[in-house]
Structure 1
Amino acid sequence: MRILTMITSWREHKMNTLRTTLKQMCMLCLALWGVGVVLAMAALVEASGIAEKLKFEHLTIAQGLPHDVVYSILQDRQGFMWFSGEGGLARYDGYSFKVYQHDPLNPDSIASNNISQILKDREGAIWCSTWGAGVDRFDPQTETFQHYKHDPANPNSLSDDRAHVIYQDNSGILWFGTFAGGLNRFDPAARIFTRFQHADDDPHSLSHNRVWSVVEDQAGNLWIGTSDKLNRLDRATGQFTHYHHDPQNPRSLSHNETRWLYVDQTGTLWVSTAGGLNRYHAASDDFTRYAHDPQNPHSLSNNTAFKICEDQQQRLWIGTKGIDAGGLNMFDPQSQQFVSYAYDPNNPSSISHNDIRDVFIDRSGVLWIGTRGGGVNKLDLKPKKFHSVTRNPNAPNTLHGALVFALAEDVDGNHWIGTDGGGLNKHDVRSGVFSYYDSTNSGISKDSVLAIQPDSDGRLWLGTKGEGLNHFDPQTEQFVVYKQDPNNPNSLSNDQVYSLLQDREGRLWVGTDNGLNLFHPEDQTFTRFLPDKQNPNSLSYKAILSLMQARDGAIWIGTWGGGVNRLEFTEVSGVREAQFTVYRRDLNNPNSLSNDEVTALLEDRNGDVWIGTNGGLNKFDPRTHTFTHYFQADGLPNSEIAGLLEDHAGMIWISTIAGLSRFDPAGQTFRNYDVADGLQSNQFKDNAYFRSRSGQLFFGGVNGYSYFDPAQVQDNPVPPPVALTSFKVFEQPVVLPLSVSYLQHLKLSYRDKFFAFEFAALDYTNTEKNRYAYKMEGFDHDWIAAGQRRYASYTNLDAGQYIFRVIASNNDGVWNKDGVAVNLTILPPGGKPRGSEGCWRFWS
């Protein structure tokens, strides 16, 4: 007996009301977020129709940052990142911090822990402007500080010890802006300061003595932002031209307090003020204003704007003093729209604080954000390889279940997701809204959906966990349920439905835990195909995990323990009979199927059949009826295969229980990806995969689903800089007269029997995936693959000459094969160099 379950009219009304309310809530949420949920380095809405929030990584005192107030960020010549704020100066190598702080007992230490800005000059030195202790010049090689302070008796000294800003112009001259002492010009060769200050009786003097920012434009003009007006200095005459806010002129500066100045790649001057952002037009000598508009979610989030930087797509990133609104803004000059990013207590991957004090993009395309209270935030701006949709119980527009069993795309391009316990989920690609059907709001027979098959009429066939087959009409939102009837041999053979297939003739095949079924819509009956020990041409095993139709019309059937079956129909005495050809594992045949649990099937563009099993990937040769095997040892992330898809370039994508892999059939190579690359998790589920009409690939797993455009999965091509970060003898750090990162030669005594080097690859895209190898030439016969390990130790080396080398790869396995090297001399007993009494170590 066939069981038909129709949604009654009152339940329809209840469900429609619920869905309408949910959609309104979701659309309101999306409107409030604006385009703040766009993907990095992508269009505002992906071809998939899914919008994601950016995921920020955080560095705080918990990770070793000396203070959570960070005012300034830079990257030095070697590739180290430097941060300054209220905790001194900190160097970061992607793993740990080296901190430089003021020591009252050491006059050679940094002058103050309160550092408002840091600047790398042409020689590689780092300048630090402090609040109350003048300016320091730090030499990264010798790790020494040189102090410059205000001297009331010397008019050529720094005008004020409360320094705000440092800038080096194209001629190498340094400019220092102070709190109350105006602007200072510093000639590094002459080592004297020349002051430019406000004079009430001189209208061409600096407009105000509090200087926030200095920049040189492409025409060589020097612009100075102060607490009262923007200034342009004519360096030939020493006179300043002032730009001020005029309430009667909308083309004037938006506010007189000018916080930051930036010249973009096109030569345009941008001016951050306490009243919004301004764009200067040199031809007309006026400004376009960009201010916060509470009615416009695409406007600047807050009018108190600070620092600016520009990415490779010529988008501007602007830090503001946000409170309730997002502090970080991204401005697209093409659309003239802003996207803001706010701290969200319910989202651990949101930006950590809304008061943004610095923005900086490093050489590998990573955006660093300094905050006043939330430490440092990090965001990779390179195109994301993978995008993932996961359940967020605190968000109104989210998946209704975390674990994804099934995925499909309907004729309208909408995406359907079968979950474990969350029912059937729909993602409306056009609106971006998620909705769901479960046992509380619909007639679905079970909240765990194992398989989805859209039909040609726009309806969906659903396989459930133990509650039969469902036929769903999205237009009427009605479900028809088909279940096993023990008294009816023409009913469904089993209620556990693992797999579904609509063949090219429009016939529906249903794989269950007890046989294969063919559905006959004309009389609503099923033909069952079951194993028959008396018939060698019958189905090999009862549990059907996967189904696929090949180009020749044959149906391939993957079973849970009986190998793979190929089904064809043959004419016998005018009657069509099913003929199953079985391929199973044969311990005596190395060319047989690798495992009898068949989870995934694919026919590629060349007509080759790929078979995923719980014991490896198989390629079937129809000419010899043999299989080629691929296992974890051959490069797969794991031998338990969950899904198989072919992309537009002929690459085979394989989901497993330990990550995703791209296989190149021509080169016979695997490229593996894991959760650190943006996948939903490393564990994927059987049957949860599909290729969209746009060519995107979707794979589901235990934490939602991941999707991507295979053409956009590009490796980071930049080899990472490599640097030594520490040298230890007998597990104790050695204080060197030269920073270990600049070390080229090292002499040790024979008594230094145990020593170790630490090192780092200075690419911050994903430091967890950087890899290392090292070699002590003269001792090691070959390179030692260290994986993620960042140290090398040696014991009891003989006296002699050695070269220690380190090489490293970035997150995508691109190696810097030059790396870094140190010449090492180990002296024999009595081999102390002249003048080394009592000191056994020498460096240069």
Structure 2
Amino acid sequence: MLLAPLVSVSKPLPPVFYPLSLQANGQFLAAKQLFPGVEGGLWSIDVHNRVRFYDGTRFIELDNLAFDNNDVTFFRGQFWYAKANKLFSQQPLGEVNQVFTTKLTEHIQSLGHGGENVWFATDNQVYLGNEHPSRFEIISMDEFERFYGGVGVKITAAIETRGAWYIGTNVGLYRWQYGELDYVGTVHRGAVSTLLLEPESNRLVIGYHSGVEVFPLDEPMQRIFFPLGQHVLSLESTASHFWVGTEQGLYWLERDTLDLEQVEFNPHDEFGLAGDKIYALVADGTLGMWIATNNGVRYFSEYGKLFERISVSIDENLNRLEPKLEVMDNPLGGYWVITSSALYAVDEEGESAMIYWGKVSSLAQREQHLWIATERGLMHLDLDAYQITALRQKIDNMPAQVEHISLGSGDTLWLNDGLRLLSFNVETEQINDFGDDWVVSDYLPAKVTEIYALGDNKALVGTDHGLYIIDHGLSRYIGASAPFGSVTELVADEHQIWAASSYGAFLYDDQGQTFTRLELFQDSTRPVCVTQSDGIFWLVSSAGLTAYTGTGEIVRHLGAPYGVISNEFINGSCAYSEQSGSIVIGSRYGIVEFDPKRILDNPVPTPSVLISQVSVSNTARHLGDVQDVIPNVGYGDSVAIQFSLWPSAQGHSLVYRTDDYDWQDMQGFQLNIDKPSPGLHSIEVAVKGNTSPDSSIQFSYQVSTPWFMTGMFYLFMALSS
């Protein structure tokens, strides 16, 4: 039978955007504004004016606030808002402070912060802050109208840099410096919606109602305008890109080359960038970005760009979710992909060809020869001649159904039909039938889950109850593998055997016959496959990717939200390509490919410890940005300190120590201290495994001394006696 491969180009999938935990649980956060906390965390204000603090693990809502999402900004740990002709500031859970009062007839119309100071504007004047929080430079609106006649001027944004204020209006951009106002002749004369300053190169990014402009303040002739035909709502920057949020989607503007790219998303993808309107963007300082849209809040990590995601389906109507998607290395280049209905070949350029239509359970390859286990038995494919042969029709004793096959360095192809184990010489076409006597009878009924050939006379057989080694016809069961359950994937070198199983992973040294349980980066996770590259072993699990040395020590781990999705990988579906140097993994959401060397050379951001809330006797006292606060605690009161890891815990846990005790594990992320003694108390908290002074944080609180424990009381008692 001749093959007629059906060729198509594999489609790159959009980048992964992660929903907040609140939204992943079915709730919805319609945030209109996002603000970064001073020490970490994220403040959000939604369309119903609810204010929440997100610490990377949970949401905490503030009650009874006097502002709404249209007239507030968050700056230096305080909310700044306007009511009529008054400017107020308020720390979370703190008292309201009246900062400034304008004339009774002047109502504050807009406010914000730019650089190191707050600004606000009325119908008649603009107020620009300075180092003193209640003193402002004042510009009359008449100054603006000298440059523009017509409709009234409205202030929309302002930002300070190097002693000058750049002020965005509905009629263009202005500069206030040395007490004088000038119109800035930008490329585009139009309504300014938002401003962003890049301090390193002293470039101003200007968002208009119709596009975005990059304006080098030191080289104004080099400015460039990018027409988008849509309203720019938000701007933010990372180390590599300017982020431009519009009313019709998100754009990335490369900082060095100024290449503009619209970010694609799939509206039917639960992990896609949901919504068109990008209301707010907040960088977290660790290559991550928080994104508020009209359909919820998402998180994106630039670390995810180390992964390439593609779809290999030729049917555009198929959903990304595949019930089966296994990948295997193709020594000729690229890799093989097995779906629930076909076998595909994907080359280095991303072009895929459907090689076989039908259910395929396993394959093995030598140069231009491919063997596949199908529901119609074992097939041989001559890739050079594009010819397929059903081996059962020409070879006696070949099973009608074959489930798993593996070809080692010799000429022997190992295969099974149920518990019947066979070896097949691909040159002589001779079959050696081992029957089912190799299985320990105590474990019957049983099932073969994986075969890994080590040569003509030796193979590893994974089962639903552990690992067997078949060597020159003799079967040896590794009893220590039984508690690990079903073997899903095997990889081996000359002596070492690595196994991913349902209930963990293990390393077995066949020469020394030593068994080692592999430590998982995060407990209660499920390994799905294992592969190796350049002496590093990669274990893929429900929690992400973990790299091990040859002795089983963890050297790298990454999971959500750094490029991979929790629970996305499929059993027994990863492979290393020596030709390309990349690892490919079958995912429920397509094919994931990455260069292991780049992952090892680029460690994921280390989460920072965040104190999110301090409560005294069940009453919240401080929320966010409380590390430098020293609360006063009454004698006899209890103290509860809520910690978190920012921006994501990613399987990490916390340790702490006090003045009296050395480092100890924290149960969860909260410390409860019942009736501490009088005096100053200090607690140091760090991520487990990283307790260096640069990584830990300290928190102190003061417990008051009751009158009956003071020196004066004891003196009085002594004199009285």
TM range (shorter): 0.7 to 0.9
Name the CA distance, whole Å, in 1 between partners of 2:144 and 2:590.
66
Q: Does 1:374 align with 2:295?
A: yes
1:166 to 99, 113, 137: 113
1:651 to 526, 536, 554: 536
For the 8 Å contact 2:687–2:696, the answer to whether it is kept is no
* TM-score, structure 1 as length reference: 0.69
**1:362 Cα deviation (Å)?**
1.9
1:757 to 610, 629, 640: 640
Q: Does 1:290 align with 2:226?
A: yes
Q: Does 1:783 align with 2:664?
A: yes
TM-aligned CA distance change 1:198 to 1:834, over 3 Å: farther
For the 8 Å contact 1:564–1:598, the answer to whether it is kept is no
For the 8 Å contact 1:749–1:826, the answer to whether it is kept is yes
Counterpart secondary structure, 1:209: coil
Name the CA distance, whole Å, in 1 between partners of 2:54 and 2:187.
38
**1:128 Cα deviation (Å)?**
2.4
* Residue of structure 2 equivalent to 1:414: 334
Which structure's CA Rg is the greater one? 1
What residue identity is the alignment partner of 2:477?
R
Q: Does 1:689 align with 2:595?
A: no
Q: Deviations over 1:727-758 (max 9, x none)?
A: 142xx3255799865543543334x4xx3513
**1:456 Cα deviation (Å)?**
0.8
TM-aligned CA distance change 1:688 to 1:320, over 3 Å: closer
Aligned residues between the structures = 695
Which runs of structure 2 are paired with 1:318-467 in the superposition (5 Å)? Answer: 318-322=244-248, 327-334=249-256, 336-341=258-263, 344-371=266-293, 373-383=294-304, 396=317, 401-404=322-325, 406-419=326-339, 421-431=340-350, 436=354, 442=357, 444=358, 447=359, 449-457=360-368, 459-464=369-374, 466-467=375-376
Which runs of structure 2 are paired with 1:734-773 in the superposition (5 Å)? Answer: 734-735=620-621, 742-750=628-636, 752=637, 755-764=638-647, 766-767=648-649, 769-773=651-655
What residue identity is the alignment partner of 1:690?
A
Name the CA distance, whole Å, in 1 between partners of 2:551 and 2:566.
28
For the 8 Å contact 2:372–2:379, the answer to whether it is kept is yes
Higher strand share: 2
**1:231 Cα deviation (Å)?**
1.7
Counterpart secondary structure, 1:646: strand
For the 8 Å contact 2:56–2:649, the answer to whether it is kept is yes
Larger RCO (CA within 8 A; separation ≥ 6): 2
Q: Deviations over 1:740-782 (max 9, x none)?
A: 65543543334x4xx3513123511x2453423345655x786
* Residue of structure 2 equivalent to 1:537: none
For the 8 Å contact 2:522–2:543, the answer to whether it is kept is no
Q: Please list every run of 5 or more consecutive structure 2 residues that lacks an aligned counterpart in the other structure.
A: 439-445, 714-721
TM-aligned CA distance change 1:760 to 1:352, over 3 Å: farther
Counterpart secondary structure, 2:608: coil
Q: Does 1:720 align with 2:602?
A: no
For the 8 Å contact 2:466–2:482, the answer to whether it is kept is no
Name the CA distance, whole Å, in 1 between partners of 2:623 and 2:541.
52
**1:210 Cα deviation (Å)?**
0.9
**1:468 Cα deviation (Å)?**
1.3
1:609 to 490, 496, 513: 496
Name the CA distance, whole Å, in 2 between partners of 1:811 and 1:389.
36
Name the CA distance, whole Å, in 2 between partners of 1:349 and 1:559.
34
Name the CA distance, whole Å, in 1 between partners of 2:100 and 2:449.
78
* Residue of structure 2 equivalent to 1:468: 377
2:237 to 310, 315, 330: 310
* Residue of structure 1 equivalent to 2:32: 70
What residue identity is the alignment partner of 1:350?
G
For the 8 Å contact 1:807–1:819, the answer to whether it is kept is yes
TM-aligned CA distance change 1:467 to 1:761, over 3 Å: same
For the 8 Å contact 2:111–2:118, the answer to whether it is kept is no
Name the CA distance, whole Å, in 2 between partners of 1:436 and 1:499.
20
Which runs of structure 2 are paired with 1:95-244 in the superposition (5 Å)? Answer: 95-100=57-62, 110=66, 112-116=67-71, 118-120=73-75, 124-126=76-78, 128-130=80-82, 134-139=86-91, 142-152=94-104, 160-168=107-115, 174=117, 176-178=119-121, 180-187=123-130, 189=132, 191-199=135-143, 202-203=146-147, 209-217=153-161, 220-233=163-176, 235-236=177-178, 238-243=180-185
For the 8 Å contact 1:182–1:206, the answer to whether it is kept is no
Q: Deviations over 1:353-389 (max 9, x none)?
A: 3222322212233212234x43433222335676667
**1:687 Cα deviation (Å)?**
4.7
Name the CA distance, whole Å, in 1 between partners of 2:625 and 2:460.
64
What residue identity is the alignment partner of 2:194?
W
Which runs of structure 2 are paired with 1:511-530 in the superposition (5 Å)? Answer: 511-513=416-418, 514-520=420-426, 525-530=429-434
What residue identity is the alignment partner of 1:275?
S
Q: Deviations over 1:635-663 (max 9, x none)?
A: 79689976442222x22223468865432
Q: Deviations over 1:211-268 (max 9, x none)?
A: 12223456x54322211122233x235131342xxxxxxxx62342122233323222
**1:532 Cα deviation (Å)?**
9.5
* Residue of structure 1 equivalent to 2:187: 253
Name the CA distance, whole Å, in 2 between partners of 1:374 and 1:833.
62
For the 8 Å contact 2:87–2:101, the answer to whether it is kept is yes
* Residue of structure 2 equivalent to 1:56: 18
For the 8 Å contact 2:490–2:500, the answer to whether it is kept is no
Name the CA distance, whole Å, in 1 between partners of 2:654 and 2:450.
41
**1:516 Cα deviation (Å)?**
2.2
Q: Does 1:548 align with 2:548?
A: no
Name the CA distance, whole Å, in 1 between partners of 2:633 and 2:277.
49
Which runs of structure 2 are paired with 1:465-614 in the superposition (5 Å)? Answer: 466-472=375-381, 479-483=388-392, 490-493=396-399, 495-501=401-407, 503-504=408-409, 508-513=413-418, 514-520=420-426, 525-530=429-434, 545-549=450-454, 555-558=458-461, 560=463, 564-565=468-469, 579-580=472-473, 582-585=475-478, 600-604=489-493, 607-612=494-499
TM-aligned CA distance change 1:184 to 1:52, over 3 Å: same
**1:330 Cα deviation (Å)?**
0.7
For the 8 Å contact 1:594–1:629, the answer to whether it is kept is no
Counterpart secondary structure, 2:142: coil
Q: CA RMSD in A?
A: 4.7
What residue identity is the alignment partner of 1:497?
E
**1:317 Cα deviation (Å)?**
0.3
Q: Please list every run of 5 or more consecutive structure 1 residues that lacks an aligned counterpart in the other structure.
A: 1-5, 31-49, 104-108, 154-158, 244-251, 293-301, 535-540, 568-578, 836-844
TM-aligned CA distance change 1:422 to 1:214, over 3 Å: same
* Residue of structure 2 equivalent to 1:92: 54
TM-aligned CA distance change 1:335 to 1:710, over 3 Å: same
1:80 to 41, 48, 53: 41
